[in-house]
Amino acid sequence: MISEDSAAVRPPVLRPGDTVLLVSPSGPTSPERVARGMELLTGWGLRPVPAPNAYARHGYLAGTDDLRAADLNAAFADPQVRGVICTRGGYGAQRIVDAIDMAAVRRDPKVVAGFSDITALQFALWRGARLAGVHGPGAAWRDERTALRSAESLHAALMTTEPVSITAVPTEETFGVRVPGRATGTLLGGNLCMIAASIGTPDLPDLTGAVLLIEDVQEPPYKVDRMLTHLRRAGALDGLAGVAVGQFTDCGDGWDTTIVDVLTERLGDLGVPVLGGLPIGHGPNQLTVPVGTKATLDTTTAT
């Protein structure tokens, strides 16, 4: 077990010629959906290789738990594999995180990229190896949602050590969610559903002094309220440094109370800076950020 105060492990950036394994720890996908992602990765000089069970299907899962865990552990154990890129989210990562060979992760830290349900995997890797990860689009790429700017953002996060800067966008639905201030801390979080589902497990990180990232998709306002209230009552938000609010996509239609109303009420009295409108999540033009690394949230510059 890694102690809470252990320093983050930042894996090496990917370089042209590196092999990256495409894994499906959660929901099922298809070669047709992943083809565009492989084209992009190849264009960056990488060698994308689908894991043996990347296209397996077992109901709403990408194969049985044993198969999905085996692909992850094979990636972490293979010295030729320099990065792990998840094909998509969906559901299922929490079912296999306890089977990950954390000793292999610690011996040879690698970039692990994904979002949505992959938040559960990144939480487990943070708990077991203090591995910093990449919160960004998966290999099942859709140009209509993740266009050129999204590709450039993922490329920069995977293959450079340049600082990542994200600016709030006025057209994002959550742009109006704001509590003034400036905060610096480790950026942790991702999908709100998966953060809330980690309560009571070993994987919910100690968020004291952290900047919490939240985003979600197709969750009505009352469910977002319930998840945030659960986190508050569990004490998980005590001691936060700040909250970075990403995209809450398709979360508000047909309700008198908007998602902005809920986020403002449930986050506004925590006594920390809150910045909404960040293009991070399930919406159009999703951008990539590292998680498990130091971040500064500044509402004056909206970054």
Tokens of 132: 């910093």
Tokens of 128: 């077991």
**Residue type (1 letter), 22:** L
> How does 172-188 read in b/e, with b if 16+ C-beta sit within 10 Å?
bbbbebbbebebebbbb
Given the residues 24, 116, 150, 198, select the one marked as catalytic: 116
Given the residues 153, 172, 173, 282, select the one marked as catalytic: 282
Helix (H) or strand (E) run with residue 39 in it: helix 31-43
Nearest partner of 135 among 246, 54, 8, judged by Cα: 246
Nearest partner of 247 among 116, 117, 156, judged by Cα: 116
> How does 212-247 read in b/e, with b if 16+ C-beta sit within 10 Å?
bbbbbbebbbebbbebbeebeeeebbeebbbbbbbb
Pairing of strands 211-217, 111-114: unpaired
- With left for phi above 0 and alpha for psi between -120 and 50, is residue 285 left, alpha or beta? left
Given the residues 24, 135, 173, 215, select the one marked as catalytic: 215
CB 119 within 8 A of CB 194: yes
282 labelled catalytic: yes
Q: What are the backbone angles phi and psi of residue 144, rounded to the nearest 5°?
A: -70, -20
3-state helix, strand, coil in the chain (%, to 5): 30, 20, 50
**Residue type (1 letter), 67:** L
Catalytic positions, written as ranges: 116, 215, 282
